[in-house]
Amino acid sequence: MSSEFLSIIPVDPRYVPTADVQESAVAAFARMLPMAESIDAVMHREIRFIDAGMEFETVSCPLCGCELDPVWWSDAMDTAQQNAFENLEVTLPCCDSASTLNNLTYRMPSGFARFALQAREPKLGRYLTVDKLQALESILGTPLKQIWSQHRKRGNGEVRTGRRAVGSGR
């Protein structure tokens, strides 16, 4: 058994909207997903890595398209995590280009954020349509991206979200 989540996060990992804006965004998000089991604004003190959970597959270079070595990625994540993901800059091993962990090509889509709108069991397929995402962007005043994730249910219905066991890939 697993639970599905749709998280809407700012492209800028540090972005946190004001309480009023969060409230409007949650209300609009709830209207878009009337079948969802729950809709929440989730806020963390520090930047978190938000991944696709069980669906997490590969990480590739956004510039040359090479699939990145999971050990390299895992080490880069460990280093960034020591500073609570405040500095996501990396030099890519494939083509020696400068990029950030947030700009890598994650399959499935993943990202870094302190703030997320989160729908549990959204029951709509996977992602919001572009016009709906744009409506949320204008409420939140910032570009957004969508992270769909699937997490295994624990015994009592608890699920693990928002946190990847960095370093588990080796």
User: What are the residues binding Zn ion (CB under 5 A)?
Assistant: 61, 63-64, 66, 92, 94-95
Task: Report the residue number, 8 or 61, with the smaller CB distance to Zn ion.
Answer: 61
* Nearest residue (CB) to Zn ion, 96 versus 131: 96
Distance CA 150, CA 159 (A): 10
Least Å distance, CB 11 to Zn ion, is 21
Minimum CB separation of residue 93 from Zn ion in Å reads 8
List the structure tokens of 147. Answer: 């992270």
Report in angstroms how near the CB of residue 99 gets to Zn ion at its nearest.
8
Angle CA 167–49–151, to nearest 5? 85
Which residue number, 105 or 146, has a Cβ lying nearer to Zn ion?
A: 105
Q: Which residue, 88 or 128, has its beta carbon nearer to Zn ion?
A: 88
What is the total residue count of the chain? 170
**How far is 42 from 113, CA to CA, in rounded Å?**
10
* Least distance to Zn ion, CB of residue 65, Å: 7
Of all residues in this chain, which one has the CB nearest to Zn ion in the complex?
A: 61
Q: Could you tell me which of 102, 4, 12 has the C-alpha nearest to residue 53? A: 4
How many Cβ atoms sit within 10 Å of the Cβ of residue 6? 26
Nearer CB in complex with Zn ion: 99/146: 99
CB of 92 to Zn ion, least distance (A): 5
User: In the chain, count of helices (H) and strands (E)?
Assistant: 3, 8
